[in-house]
């Protein structure tokens, strides 16, 4: 029996599009996995370094380009441990929604922290709080240490990003938001803020009940690799399907 392949333009175009899409998305997921592996290496290296002390002297040098706190150098600080003394601005809590923990819905609590001896603040991610399942409109209660305290944490460039549903409302004390940027808080509050967050770690202060089991920034490498395999498999299956159906169609056409 003579093999014959019947070429059809429309199936060919669809196959090419699927193959290109599958390879492009597979490559993207592969790059995401590689990026997270690089982040993991950077986290391990920087967590071993001595903590950055955020004090009045560091704040005074923050405007100089050679200063580690200058906005152009923030990436060099990311994932470094930090230690800062000062007091929380208790009147400006912000709740980041859609932050589940161990299968429970909840919030991250963000709050400005005034650095001792200065008028500069840093935005602290204090921890996780559960949502009330009986009343989703109710904000969780929490305690805020009063007076001067010293906190420990990790410098992070963002508070994480979730899919934005709807139009964000006006930022105000006690607001519930899905995503948060330092410059937004600075504009709304009028406070001078350093251009990064401090993800608080270490023991609770007296009266605190926040969970500080933060997700690793490099988590999800295996997930990205799995997605990459699925997209590459889609590209391969699309090409194989086109070849098989072409030969079947050609055999039928010849017959």
DSSP per-residue codes, 19-39 = HHHHHHHHHHHHHHHHHHHHH
Say if residue 197 is in the same domain as residue 235: no
Contacts 24+ apart (CB under 8 A), 8-11: 8/246, 8/249, 11/242, 11/245, 11/246
Say if residue 235 is in the same domain as residue 196: no
| 8 A C-beta contact, residue 200 and residue 124 | yes
**Segment 199-227 mean pLDDT:** 80
Say if residue 85 is in the same domain as residue 196: yes
Q: Please count the structural domains in the chain.
A: 2
Say if residue 93 is in the same domain as residue 192: yes
15-19, 54-58, 212-216: which has the minimum mean pLDDT? Answer: 54-58
Give the pLDDT of residue 2: 63
Residue 196 belongs to a domain: yes
Instruction: With H, G, I as helix, E, B as strand and everything else as coil, classify residue 163.
Output: coil
Q: Provide the residue range defining the domain that includes 170.
A: 80-201
Q: Rounded CA gap, 93 and 172, in Å? A: 9
Say if residue 89 is in the same domain as residue 16: no
Say if residue 14 is in the same domain as residue 90: no
39: which 2 tokens? 């982040």
Predicted confidence band at 220 (pLDDT cuts at 50, 70, 90)?
Answer: confident
Greater confidence (41 vs 22) lies with 22
Say if residue 107 is in the same domain as residue 186: yes
Q: Rounded CA gap, 102 and 83, in Å? A: 28
Give the pLDDT of residue 204: 64
pLDDT per residue as tens digits for the range 81-92: 999 999 999 999
Q: How far is CA 231 from CA 12, 21, 63, in A?
A: 19, 8, 46
Highest mean pLDDT among 29-38, 196-205, 240-249: 29-38
Residue 132 belongs to a domain: yes
**Segment 106-128 mean pLDDT:** 94
Q: What are phi and psi of 81, to 5 degrees?
A: -70, 150
212 C-beta neighbours (distance < 10 Å), count: 16
Q: Please, what sign has the CA dihedral across residues 70, 75, 76, 81?
A: positive
Residue 165 belongs to a domain: yes
216 C-beta neighbours (distance < 10 Å), count: 10
pLDDT tops 70 at residue 31? yes
The pTM for the full model equals 0.75
Residue 182 belongs to a domain: yes
Predicted confidence band at 252 (pLDDT cuts at 50, 70, 90)?
Answer: low
Give the pLDDT of residue 25: 93
Say if residue 153 is in the same domain as residue 84: yes
pLDDT tops 60 at residue 64? no
Residue 26 belongs to a domain: yes
**Segment 79-106 mean pLDDT:** 93
Residue 63 belongs to a domain: no
Residue 142 belongs to a domain: yes
Residue 228 belongs to a domain: yes
Predicted confidence band at 114 (pLDDT cuts at 50, 70, 90)?
Answer: very high
Say if residue 236 is in the same domain as residue 196: no
Say if residue 155 is in the same domain as residue 96: yes
Say if residue 27 is in the same domain as residue 91: no
What integer best gives the mean pLDDT of the chain? 84
Say if residue 236 is in the same domain as residue 147: no
């Amino acid at each position: 029996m003579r093999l014959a392949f019947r070429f059809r333009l429309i199936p060919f175009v669809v196959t090419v599009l699927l193959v290109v899409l599958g390879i492009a998305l597979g490559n993207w997921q592969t790059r995401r996995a590689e990026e997270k592996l690089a982040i993991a290496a950077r986290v391990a290296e920087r967590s071993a370094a001595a903590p950055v002390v955020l004090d009045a002297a560091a704040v005074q040098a923050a405007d100089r380009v050679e200063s580690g706190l200058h906005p152009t150098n923030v990436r060099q600080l990311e994932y470094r441990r930090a230690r800062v003394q000062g007091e929380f601005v208790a009147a400006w809590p912000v709740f980041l929604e859609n932050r589940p923990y161990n299968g429970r819905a909840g919030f991250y609590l963000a709050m400005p922290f005034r650095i001792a001896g200065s008028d500069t603040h840093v935005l602290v991610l204090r921890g996780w709080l559960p949502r009330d399942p009986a009343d989703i409109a109710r904000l969780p209660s929490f305690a805020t240490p009063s007076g001067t305290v010293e906190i420990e944490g990790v410098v992070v460039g963002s508070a994480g990003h979730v899919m934005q549903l709807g139009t964000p409302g006006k930022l105000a004390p006690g607001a519930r938001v899905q995503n948060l940027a330092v410059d937004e808080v600075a504009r709304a509050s009028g406070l001078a803020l350093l251009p990064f967050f401090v993800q608080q770690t270490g023991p609770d202060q007296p009266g605190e009940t926040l969970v500080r089991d933060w997700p690793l920034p490099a988590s999800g490498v295996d997930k990205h690799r799995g997605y990459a395999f699925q997209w590459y498999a889609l590209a391969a299956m699309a090409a194989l399907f086109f070849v098989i159906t072409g030969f079947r169609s050609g055999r039928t056409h010849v017959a």
